Amino acid sequence: MHIDPARIFKPAAPRFTVVLDAEVIYDDAAHARYQAAERFDPTDARPMPPRKAAKDPRITPRWPCQRITALSWLVMSDGVDGLRPLRLETASRPEQTEADIIRTFFRDMESLKAVELVTWGGHHSDLPQILLAAMVAGIPLPSNLVGLAYPWRREASGHIDLSSRVTGGADAVHLAEVAAALNIPAKLTCRPDLVSQLMGQGKWSGVRSVVEGDVMTTALILMLWRHLSGETMSRLEAVRRLTHFIAHNCAHRPYAADWVRFGEAELDAAFAAESAKVAHLAPHFRSEVQISA
């Protein structure tokens, strides 16, 4: 009798969870080639309403005509006591080209061996962008990421799109919307629509802060989401782990102070809640003491 081992033995849990996010810029040369292929006449766009123009790929470049300028990833240990941030890596212009960024990321993932990637909306943005960039540069996937080439096999791809997990059958929403509902920090460096201006002004430290900030927000949402499935780590412990990591490793970033204040506020709120419980019970204790006396 043939027995499928996959039905008996579950695959080993990933040793590392890697939360990542990317920032991109329009590739004007690639977009010009696309416009030429479409025989696009710029005069066709003049009578077009702005909202329609924003959705027309001949006018507004979609992801194939964009290039990665910054990629940040947070490596977290994934053990019996839950997720713990270990280190944050960021590769970006101007020091590195898109190909350099991809090579750096792939080398690091290969060194980790067993990894699971987590993004917010990355199934439709970050991962296709990374794969296309690798194709352009002729860089093969490391052996532990080959599942990314088969994104429709969600469980076997090695990638979790946290957005689809959280929203389920509801409409897709922005990272900041869910962060607001959970009352956690998001988009601290600048408005999302101003990131391209930072790139144009050569403010790459700001761009790195933006991409790292999204990684931190996604990481905390992941930690809270994992608590739903039975992990013992509480919200307070998740916040403590992440804010402690940020305070000790990202103090040079403008988002750090806000995260530290957030962590302190969460701790104060937890102490206040416990004090309220004691205050609620104290009258009963006093009554018992008076009766016994």
In a domain, 75, yes or no: yes
In a domain, 255, yes or no: no
In a domain, 241, yes or no: no
Identify which of 206, 202, 192, 70 has the alpha carbon closest to the alpha carbon of residue 126. 70
Token output for 112: 């980790």
Token output for 102: 């991809």
Paired with 66 in beta bridges are 26
In a domain, 11, yes or no: yes
pLDDT tens series, the chain, 293 aa? 333 333 333 445 568 999 999 999 999 999 999 999 999 998 877 778 888 888 999 999 999 999 999 999 999 999 888 999 999 999 999 999 999 999 999 999 999 999 999 999 999 999 999 999 999 999 999 999 999 998 777 777 899 999 999 999 999 999 999 999 999 999 999 999 999 999 999 999 999 999 999 999 999 999 999 998 887 789 999 999 999 999 999 999 999 999 999 999 999 999 998 888 777 666 655 555 454 55
Residue 183: left (phi > 0), alpha (psi -120 to 50), or beta? Answer: left
- Find the CATH number of the domain harbouring 58: 3.30.420.10
pLDDT at 6: 36
In a domain, 290, yes or no: no
Helix, coil or strand: residue 237: helix
Alpha-carbon span 73 to 107, nearest angstrom: 13
pTM for the predicted model, two decimal places:
0.89
Domain residues for 121?
5-234
DSSP-assigned letter for residue 139: P
**Side chain identity at 152, as an amino acid letter?**
W
In a domain, 22, yes or no: yes
Helix, coil or strand: residue 102: helix
In a domain, 64, yes or no: yes
CA 222 → CA 36, 195, 217, 227, distances in Å?
43, 24, 9, 9
Alpha-carbon span 99 to 140, nearest angstrom: 12
Token output for 29: 């040369």
Token output for 190: 């600048």
In a domain, 71, yes or no: yes
pLDDT at 11: 46
Cβ partners under 8 Å of residue 92, min gap 6:
23, 69, 70, 71, 101, 204, 207, 208, 211
Number of domains the chain contains: 1
Alpha-carbon span 19 to 217, nearest angstrom: 10
